[in-house]
Amino acid sequence: MTNDFPGDSPSSSGEGFPTPEDIPQPGATPTPGGYPHQGEYPPPGGYRGEGLQPPPGSYPPADDAPVQYGVASSHRHFPSLRRSDAETPFRIRQLLKLSWRRFAGNAGAWLGFVVLAIIVTGLVAFPLSLVFYAPLESPTANPILAVSLAAAGTALFVLLGILVQSAMVSAALAESAGQRPSLREFMRVPNVAQVVLTAILVAAMTFLGTLLCIVPGLLAAFFSMFAVHFVIDRGQSAVEAIRSSWRTVGANVGPLLILVLVLYVVTVAGALTIIGMLVVVPFSMIAVAQAYRTVAR
């Protein structure tokens, strides 16, 4: 009889079914050697079965597992974006473009303040000139009194100029920080006493340096260009702010010198018309404040 089931071989009796002797008896064990020897089994974790987990890192994470981006590579592949590494030296063209955008976005407040400052200064200047400077032209006036009144008038003019300039510096710092100060906020100048003292010290250094040989006065004014900014922005004292300004400018002489020269040319060109001056003055203030934000530490 032929075998009807593939894979089964006929028994020795020639029939297609095993004999009773070929059937294992109950309780019988296989002969030794029927299974792999000890140590030939696959190691744990070598295959996946029910309840078994792959070794760490052998398989990709599950689809629903949270993925953390940048944890392992943030300190390897990406440079630090600290101000000292990424922002200095700044690019003049980009700084001027940014300053112009900030001015154009808040031109109403800036132009309003400049016009208001001109009107107030004019209204104050004319009466003061009659009171404080008229005795100088009188031949019968007491010379000491005349000189004292003229000095007092000059001091008031200087104080008024300092307040106007510090108001624009404060607003320019706000612009450089991404804010849009209103016309009322121009009048809020923090740390006014130290601002006035700082401006007086810088003016004195500039004046004395100019008397020596002009160049020292220009250098004093250049290296002190951020002194008022440090007072308003960080609340420093006058002396500390002047030191901070000299240290900051000294570390960035090249780009700041180019910026000052560019702003000087722009100011001279804008001075040809009244409207040009109304635009150039706040634009220059914002540009200097933007440079301060970039290089100050």
Q: What is the pLDDT of residues 126-173, one digit of tens each?
A: 787 778 887 777 777 788 888 888 888 888 888 999 999 999 999 999
Q: How many Cβ atoms are within 10 Å of 113's Cβ, its own excluded?
A: 23
Tally of structural domains, the chain: 1
**Is residue 249 in some structural domain?**
yes
Q: Is residue 163 part of a domain?
A: yes
Looking at residue 98, its pLDDT comes to: 95
Please give the pLDDT value at position 124: 79
Residue 7's pLDDT is: 46
- 135-159 b/e (C-beta count within 10 Å ≥ 16 → b): beeeeeeeeeebeebeeebeeebee
Q: Residue 21 has what pLDDT?
A: 59
Mean pLDDT, to the nearest integer, of 233-242?
A: 96
Task: Answer whether residue 160 is part of any domain.
Answer: yes
Whole-model pTM: value is: 0.67
Amino acid 64: pLDDT: 45
Tokens in use for 235? 């609340």
Q: What pLDDT score does 40 carry?
A: 52
Please check whether residue 255 is in contact with residue 139, taking contact to mean a CB–CB distance below 8 angstroms: no
Q: What is the pLDDT of residue 44?
A: 53
**Residue 196 pLDDT level (bands cut at 50, 70, 90):** very high
Higher pLDDT, 183 or 15: 183
Using a pLDDT cut of 70, give the percent of the chain over it.
70
Residues 6+ apart with CB under 8 A from 4: 16
Q: Are the C-beta atoms of 285 and 114 separated by less than 8 Å?
A: no
pLDDT at 54 over 70: no
> CB under 8 Å to 163, separation ≥6 — which residues?
189, 192, 196
Confirm whether 18 is domain-assigned.
no
270 and 277 in contact (C-beta within 8 Å)?
yes
Asked whether the predicted pLDDT for residue 215 surpasses 70, the reply is yes
Phi, psi values for residue 11, rounded to 5°: -75, 175
Q: Higher confidence at residue 23 or residue 87?
A: 23
pLDDT of 95 above 70? yes
Cβ distance 142 to 208 under 8 Å? no
pLDDT at 271: 86
**Which has the closest alpha carbon to 171: 284, 38, 268, 29?**
284
Instruction: Say how far apart CA 293 and CA 90 lie, in whole Å.
Output: 10
Residue 23 lies in a domain: no
Task: Look at residue 189 and tell me if it is in a domain.
Answer: yes
Q: Which domain holds residue 136?
A: 89-295
Short-list 218, 228, 219, CA closest to 193: 228
The answer to whether residue 196 sits within a structural domain is yes
> With 50 as the cut, is the pLDDT of residue 100 above it?
yes
Pick the most confident of 144-148, 178-182, 184-188: 178-182
Q: What's the whole-number mean pLDDT along residues 185-204? A: 94
In this prediction, residues 231-242 reach a mean pLDDT of 96
What is the arithmetic mean of pLDDT over 225-248?
97
Domain-embedded: residue 142: yes
